[in-house]
Amino acid sequence: MSTTPIKFYQVGSFAVGNRLLSADDRSIQSDPDRTNALTSGHRACQGCGEALGARYALDAAMRATNEKIIAVNATGCLEVFSTPYPESSWRIAWLHSLFGNAPAVATGVAAALKAQGKSDIRVIGQGGDGATVDIGFGALSGMFERNDDVLYICYDNEAYMNTGVQRSGATPPAARTATTQAVGENPGNVFGQGKNLPRIAMAHEIPYVATATVADLRDLEAKVTKAMSFRGARYIHVLVPCPLGWGSASCDTIKIARLATQSGLFPVFEAEHGEVVASTAIRHRVDVEEYLKLQVRYSHLFSPKRRDDVITHLQSIADKNIARYNLISDESASS
Amino acid sequence: MLRQVEGSKAVADTVAACRPQVICAYPISPQTHIVEGLSQLVKNGELQNCEFINVESEFAAMSVAIGASATGARTYTATASQGLLYMVEAVFNASGLGLPIVMTVANRAIGAPINIWNDHSDSMSQRDSGWIQIYAETNQEAADLHVQAFRIAEELSLPVMVCMDGFILTHAYERVDVAEQEQVDQFLPPYAPRQILDPSNPVSIGAMVGPEAFTEVKYMAHMKTLSALAVIPKVAKDFEIIFGRSSGGLIRRHKTLGAQTIVIALGSVLGTIKDVIDEMVAADIAIGVLGIIAFRPFPTTEVREALSQAKRVIVLEKAFQVGVGGIVIDNVREALRGTNTAAYTVIAGLGGRPITKQSLRSYFDKAVNDQVEELTFLDLDKDLADAELAREAGR
């Protein structure tokens, strides 16, 4: 079903670049000749999911295009921590313009390349969830609708982390942010709001839409590689835990991302031309509580008074995802 | 080639002759005919190696232009009024990044109240955006300024706004000598960007600059923009050599020699003003006109020199600072610093109100005798407005 033929299910062997594999099967990141598109020395927090996701995604894109990438970045953590003048962590051609216009700027780059006959150079737009689902949403929809030759990657940490953890249109229900505080009768973010951008992208019937997390970086590499095999507008939505904003331990970033998928809260799937073509089955299903309890942003669901009503509500969202994307396959059910 | 042509069409054909590689467009009156014309030229193959992008907003239009220009493409867009305001964040960004984008502003009022007709409120609101602003008096000049704009922009690596009065110029059919392709090619070399996004020589563009260097960056932008005061006349001179007609430059004088009163204005209203001034000069009144073509950067030295013999200056403006008064007059007063020259502001033509010869003559006749207020709203129905203000105050 999924794009990655090789899975590392055993606890402790999620590491990429397994030396037991043949060279061709190893991860892109394990290649000593990888680009290091986002190289070391930047100012991201310890355990930053976004830095990890961006590095893997762009190194994969570089390999897939014979190192011919121009990246356009929205304002946000990724931009701020990577380019404090006069330093830059980018070893690729990189442009930052504004918060809300990265998809349109990427369109401009693609148009310029086409007009100059440089079709071998490919374009990536990237931003956080605020830039993607909120302030840059119109520009992103326009880019999709025109089917411009751009891969747009959203690194979703489910709030405006760069400005101090305010709610975005991607903040999940019940989560505490600086603007959805854990106070009152219904603490945290409200239910029934928020945008499901992968599905909105699919509604544009663009060639390729995929979701991924930093818990399965080989899968992310594979999806970026696959995305570069298409022309036209493509969208990858990557869940990237934020230790600062989520109130989680820096060492738990991968674990939390994995629990998001194994609970069903974050379905991992691929779609082509508006139809789901593959989903990654849940291997070891867990209750959402396992995911929630590692994060201070949900601590109000457990103390001072346990909120079973809210936890049940969140579980129902995960259950719905599992049914919608067929995340419990016969194989995983029997394992 | 001499043609009887709509202003927008003359601009579209001229822009096409400049061989733009990326054009982005979002419809807003009265700019639409320009991009419609360009869209046709791209679609029918007359303008080749050019991507025409129909975007979903003006904010996207300027953003696409930013991406395209940073990737080394000659880039053009056009807008007006609300559209210009909708793209403002990207307008400032384009100049900050030093991208030589050329944009036509088909000048139109800003709402509320919504109004589609001409004044200068839109481009004047962007006077501090870091763009070079040049104002066309006629459709001939509007067309010619676009050829010059690409030269100026690319020579300085700064964006240029070509401002032409909406409807009055954009929709007027008149005789225009539309630039020939061979002449444009001779005048305008292919775009050679100073910095370009290129995977084989990667650079990071748009880094975050903190307090330790921000002032220096802004100072450099100021100095670079000021250097346009030397580039604009040079480009106009080169243009005259190749095209055989005079267009552009910083300022244009009309009967200012020996004039005791000098009227200053921008754009198409200069034509009407000149007609009035010619009649007054014929009646032995010492009055002249100074047209400002380049408003940003402001040609302070040239204006000071042009006004040096005048006793009074009248600045006619199609926009104003609410709660303050004129906009252009602020800049003119800088040029008059240290002199005793009287300066009057007359606000005219707001939201498309016709500026008639009769009204101008009546105002100028009073002004030459210093019988006008410092700030006048031409043809204002003051009784009506004052009655309404009184009614509201009494509520």
Q: How far apart are CA B172 and CA B168, in angstroms?
A: 6
Check residue A21 and give its pLDDT: 76
Residue B282: inside a domain: yes
Q: Structure tokens of B49?
A: 């190696």
Query: Is B209 buried (19+), middle (13-18) or exposed (0-12) by CB count in 10 A?
Result: middle
DSSP state of B199: T
- Region B92-112: mean pLDDT is 98
Examine the domain organization and report whether B8 and B143 are in the same domain: yes
For A83-122, b/e burial (b = at least 16 CB within 10 A) is: beeeebbbbbbbbbbbbbbbbbbbbbbbbbbbbbebeebb
How many CB atoms are located within 10 Å of the residue B237 CB?
12
CB A74 within 8 A of CB A99: yes
**A114 contact B CB<8A:** yes
The pLDDT tens digits for B319-364 are 999 999 999 999 999 999 999 999 999 999 999 999 999 999 999 9
Examine the domain organization and report whether B285 and B224 are in the same domain: no
Architecture of domain A23-334: 3-Layer(aba) Sandwich (3.40)
- Region B7-14: mean pLDDT is 98
Examine the domain organization and report whether B306 and B219 are in the same domain: no
> Would the pLDDT of B296 be above 50?
yes
Q: Structure tokens of B276?
A: 């009035």
Q: Pick the last residue of a domain from B242, B263, B295.
A: B242
Residue B329: inside a domain: yes
Residue ranges of A 118-137 with Cβ closer than 8 A to chain B:
121
Examine the domain organization and report whether B357 and B292 are in the same domain: yes
Examine the domain organization and report whether B237 and B337 are in the same domain: no
The CA angle B126-B128-B130, to the nearest 5 degrees, is 95
Residue B67: inside a domain: yes
| ipTM score assigned to the predicted complex | 0.96
CB A189 within 8 A of CB A177: yes
> Would the pLDDT of B291 be above 70?
yes
Judge: A105–B57 Cβ closer than 8 Å, yes or no: no
Q: Which domain holds residue B236?
A: 2-242
CATH number of the domain to which B281 belongs: 3.40.50.920
**B64 contact A CB<8A:** yes
- Sign (positive/negative) of CA torsion B200, B206, B211, B215? positive
Examine the domain organization and report whether B95 and B209 are in the same domain: yes
Check residue A3 and give its pLDDT: 55
Examine the domain organization and report whether B163 and B76 are in the same domain: yes
Examine the domain organization and report whether B226 and B276 are in the same domain: no
Q: Structure tokens of A83?
A: 């380019």
Judge: A139–B63 Cβ closer than 8 Å, yes or no: yes
Mapped onto helix, strand or coil, the DSSP state of residue B48 is: coil
**B197 contact A CB<8A:** yes
Residues of chain B with C-beta less than 8 angstroms from the C-beta of A233: none
Check residue A330 and give its pLDDT: 61
- Sign (positive/negative) of CA torsion A81, A83, A87, A92? positive
Residues of chain B with C-beta less than 8 angstroms from the C-beta of A91: 202
**A146 contact B CB<8A:** yes
**A170 contact B CB<8A:** no
Query: Is B40 buried (19+), middle (13-18) or exposed (0-12) by CB count in 10 A?
Result: middle
Check residue A184 and give its pLDDT: 93
Examine the domain organization and report whether B77 and B218 are in the same domain: yes
Check residue A16 and give its pLDDT: 47
Check residue B53 and give its pLDDT: 98
- Region B209-238: mean pLDDT is 97
Examine the domain organization and report whether B218 and B82 are in the same domain: yes
Residue B98: inside a domain: yes
CB B109 within 8 A of CB B81: yes
Residue B162: inside a domain: yes
The pLDDT tens digits for A305-315 are 999 999 999 99
Tens-digit pLDDT string for chain A (335 aa): 445 566 655 455 445 446 677 777 888 998 889 999 999 999 999 999 999 999 999 999 999 999 999 999 999 999 999 999 999 999 999 999 999 999 999 999 999 999 999 999 999 999 999 999 999 999 999 999 999 999 999 999 999 999 999 999 999 999 999 999 999 999 999 999 999 999 999 999 999 999 999 999 999 999 999 999 999 999 999 999 999 999 999 999 999 999 999 999 999 999 999 999 999 999 999 999 999 999 999 999 999 999 999 999 999 999 999 999 999 976 544 44
DSSP state of B29: T
Q: Pick the last residue of a domain from B242, B272, B299.
A: B242
Average model confidence (pLDDT) across chain B: 98
Q: How far apart are CA A90 and CA A96, in angstroms?
A: 11
Q: What is the pTM of this model?
A: 0.96
Q: Pick the last residue of a domain from B225, B242, B259.
A: B242
DSSP letters along B231-286, please?
HHHHHHHHHHHHHSS---SSEEEES-TT-SEEEEE-TTHHHHHHHHHHHHHHTT--
Q: How far apart are CA A164 and CA A159, in angstroms?
A: 9
CB A257 within 8 A of CB A239: yes
Residues of chain A with C-beta less than 8 angstroms from the C-beta of B71: 70, 108-109, 112-113, 116
Question: With the CA atoms of A121, A127, A132 and A136 taken in that order, what torsion angle do they form, in degrees rounded to the nearest 10?
Answer: -80
Task: Tell me which H or E stretch contains A105.
Answer: helix A102-115
Examine the domain organization and report whether B226 and B262 are in the same domain: no
The pLDDT tens digits for B382-394 are 999 999 999 999 9
Q: How far apart are CA B99 and CA B193, in angstroms?
A: 9
Residues of chain A with C-beta less than 8 angstroms from the C-beta of B93: 97-98
Number of helices (H) and strands (E) in chain B: give both, helices first.
Answer: 15, 16
Domain count, chain B: 2
Beta strands B261-265 and A69-73, pairing class = unpaired
Give chain B's length: 395
Residue of chain A whose Cα is closest to the Cα of B198: A93
Residues 6+ apart with CB under 8 A from A105: A72, A95, A97, A98, A125, B63, B64, B66, B67, B70
| Domain residue ranges of chain A, discontinuous segments joined by + | 23-334
CATH number of the domain to which B31 belongs: 3.40.50.970
Examine the domain organization and report whether B63 and B209 are in the same domain: yes
